[in-house]
Amino acid sequence: MLVSATISKDCKSLTLVFSATGTYALELTNHITETEYSANITTDANKVYTLSSVVFGETFNGVFEIKVGAVTLQSLGDCEISCCIAGLLHKVINCDCECDKCDEDLHTAQKVRLLTEAAKYSTYSTANLTDAVNKYNKAKEFCDADCGCGC
C-alpha cells in the first residue's frame, strides 16, 4: 500500500514510500500540464520507489494525483513558483523605481506565496483537488503578469 509521496525540492524526482516491498501499478497525473504516466513499478528493499523527471518527461511542477491500487494521494511541486517569488524579491531588493512599483512586487510575491501554501494544504485531501489546481494556477497567473516599473 502507498504510504506517502514526496516531490524533491528541485522538482526532479517523486519518491513513493510503501508499507511493503513489491510491484505496484502506478498512475500519475499532473493536473496543471495534464501529463499522464502509468507504469508497473517495483520498490527497493526499503519499500521506496523514486521516479525521475527524465523518465516522467517533465519536472514535477504542478498539482499531482498519484494512484496506486485503491490509494490516491496528491502532492504539489512548486519549483517554478518558488523561482518566481525569488525573482520578484530580487526585483524588490534592486528596485530603483520612483513610485510604488517596488511595493507592488513585494505584495505580488506575498500573494503568490500564500496561494502556493494554500494549494499545498488543499492537496492533503483528494476532495480538494480542484481547489489546489485553481490556487496553483492563480499563483502562476500572478507570476506571468510581470510588467516592470510601469508606474
Model confidence pLDDT, tens digit, residues 41-85: 999 999 999 999 999 999 999 999 999 999 999 999 999 999 999
Which SS3 state, helix, strand or coil, does residue 42 take?
strand
Residue 150 has pLDDT above 70, yes or no: no
Q: Where are the domains of the chain?
A: 2-77, 79-144
Q: Which pLDDT band holds residue 143 (cuts at 50, 70, 90)?
A: confident
Q: What is the pLDDT of residue 146?
A: 57
**Under CATH, which architecture does the 2-77 domain have?**
Sandwich (2.60)
Question: Bridge-partner residues for 24, per DSSP?
Answer: 41
Kindly give, in sequence order, each residue whose CB lies less than 8 Å from that of residue 17, ignoring residues fewer than 6 positions away: 2, 3, 4, 5, 6, 47, 48
Residue 99: count of CB within 10 angstroms of its CB: 11
- Residue carrying C-alpha cell 500564500: 114
Q: Which of 96, 88, 98, 90 minimizes the C-alpha distance to 151? A: 98
Q: Which of 10-24, 26-40, 90-104 has the lowest mean pLDDT?
A: 90-104
